[in-house]
């Protein structure tokens, strides 16, 4: 798989999971599996440039459809070129509450765990 074939998949608006599977297969065949995260960030970055923001959202509990819609609206509001938002949900009980949103270039961490760590570091100073 070449860079041009990856670009072709992006231009066809293939899902990132589909792209990831093809890239992962290539990386396994060529014994370069450590490169997958980097390549997927690059794919997400290219898609952001085209107006599709793909985000990983971690919460302590599953999101309701209203919460998912609110996150999508928040991202569209704060990123001028954003036309579409693809949300990949992950439940992470260690966050305790709140939300952690990660894209190719941005991290918004409003989890209870993050806030508690901030308070702890302030006290330790």
Using CA atoms, how far apart are residues 77 and 73, in angstroms rounded to an integer?
Answer: 6
Domain boundaries, the chain: 1-50, 51-125
Predicted local distance difference test score (pLDDT) of residue 34: 75
Q: What is the pLDDT of residues 39-68, one digit of tens each?
A: 777 777 888 888 889 899 999 999 999 999
Predicted local distance difference test score (pLDDT) of residue 47: 82
- The parts of the chain modelled with pLDDT lower than 50 are none
Using CA atoms, how far apart are residues 1 and 18, in angstroms rounded to an integer?
Answer: 14
Predicted local distance difference test score (pLDDT) of residue 75: 94
Give, in order, the Cα–Cα distances in Å from 84 to each of 16, 28, 96.
Answer: 14, 31, 29
Predicted local distance difference test score (pLDDT) of residue 24: 73
Q: Taking the complete model, does pTM exceed 0.75, yes or no?
A: no
Predicted local distance difference test score (pLDDT) of residue 101: 94
Predicted local distance difference test score (pLDDT) of residue 68: 96
Predicted local distance difference test score (pLDDT) of residue 92: 94
């Amino acid at each position: 798989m070449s860079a041009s074939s990856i670009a072709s998949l992006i231009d066809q608006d293939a899902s990132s999971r589909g792209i990831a599977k093809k890239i992962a297969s290539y990386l396994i065949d060529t014994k370069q599996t450590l490169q997958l995260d980097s390549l997927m960030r690059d794919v997400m970055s290219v898609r952001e440039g085209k107006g599709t923001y793909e985000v990983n959202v971690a919460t302590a509990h599953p999101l309701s459809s209203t919460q998912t819609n609110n996150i999508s609206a928040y991202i569209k509001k704060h990123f001028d070129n954003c036309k579409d938002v693809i949300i990949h949900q992950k439940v992470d009980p260690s966050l305790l509450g709140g939300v952690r949103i990660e894209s190719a270039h941005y991290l918004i961490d409003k989890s209870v765990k993050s806030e508690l760590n901030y308070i702890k570091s302030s006290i330790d100073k």
